[in-house]
Amino acid sequence: MPLIQRETSRRRKGWWIAGTVTAVLLTAAVALTATAFPSVAATTCPGCYGLERLQPGLYAEPSLVPAQRRHVTEAIEQANKRVGDFFRGRKSSPDILVCLSDNCYRRIGGGGERGIAVLNRSVMLSPRGVHPVIAAHELAHVELHARLSGAEVPQWFDEGLAVLVSDDPRYLAPTGDRCLLDSRRPLPVTLEDWLRAASADPQLYAEAACQVSRWAGTNGGKETVRTLIERLSTGQAFPDIQMPTAAATTAGPDQERGHRHAG
């Protein structure tokens, strides 16, 4: 065989081996992700986990009766409205995966939580989380991080803001100074510390909500929150937020320049 033909044959064989190895590695990586991180895989390919699309960006387990489909879509519509009203528009459009059975939620990688934001890009809701408050809480996490453009905030602020956006009655009073649990102590800054502390004391959410809502209420309401997020997205450092006393709070966190806003 002439030298040039032998060299061409070797190159083709090398390309074939390289392509085969690459395909095997990619297949292994996909399989590992699906096994070790099913929630990531499920949010990437909802249909691969048996979920069907109810509408663009919204997936649920199949064979829901009309009443169940209506319950899911109405809960998500209300949640989206709460987030859009608070932030005055949306920059995020996460896929939402909804399960109405525990088996479905376990299959897509869920645990004992009501809902979870996955990689700040998607949202998964358990049977106990198909509610406007829970959905809005998780959607608020995604929206915040979409607006931060990679900037970081303390986890207590992230969680307290999500409670405020979702208007969660478990952790907020309905009007006025909305603190149900007065708190001016330092709260967990990292996600790891937050998860550990909140698992031992769920009322940590009320403390974080108190600090965020009280700070917002004394500094201009939603507009101040939006301005802070915009500044953080440009690289400014998170400010040293001093917690005012209840007596110093002059407006609820859902007030802007003296005017109340729904949601």
Summarize pLDDT for 47-80 with one digit per residue, the tens.
Answer: 999 999 999 999 999 999 999 999 999 999 999 9
The residue with greater pLDDT, 17 or 160, is: 160
- Residues linked to residue 97 through DSSP beta bridges, in sequence order: 59, 124
Contacts of 262 (CB under 8 A, 6+ apart): 85
pLDDT at 22 over 60: no
CA dist., res. 114 & res. 100, Å (int): 11
CA dist., res. 75 & res. 49, Å (int): 22
**Count of H-run helices and E-run strands, the chain:** 9, 7
Q: What are the tens digits of pLDDT across the range 103-142?
A: 999 999 999 999 999 998 899 999 999 999 999 999 999 9
Q: What are the tens digits of pLDDT across the range 142-175?
A: 999 999 999 999 999 999 999 999 999 999 999 8
- The helix, strand and coil proportions of the chain, stated in percent and rounded to the nearest 5, come to 55, 10, 35
The DSSP result for 129-195, as a single string, is: G-SHHHHHHHHHHHHHHHHHTT----HHHHHHHHHHHHT-TTTB-SSSS-BSS---S----SHHHHH
Closest by Cα among 42, 47, 57, 41 to 126: 42
Closest by Cα among 174, 167, 183 to 215: 183
CA 47 and chain centroid, separation: 21
Residue 177, Cβ neighbours under 10 Å: how many?
22
Q: What are the tens digits of pLDDT across the range 246-262?
A: 544 444 433 332 322 22
- Residue 32's pLDDT is 31
Residue 15, Cβ neighbours under 10 Å: how many?
10
DSSP strand pairing (122-125 vs 259-260): unpaired
Torsion, CA 60, CA 65, CA 69, CA 75, rounded to 10: -100
CB 183 within 8 A of CB 210: yes
- Give the whole-number percent of the chain exceeding pLDDT 70: 78
pLDDT at 224 over 90: yes
CA dist., res. 219 & res. 131, Å (int): 30
- Residue 5's pLDDT is 52
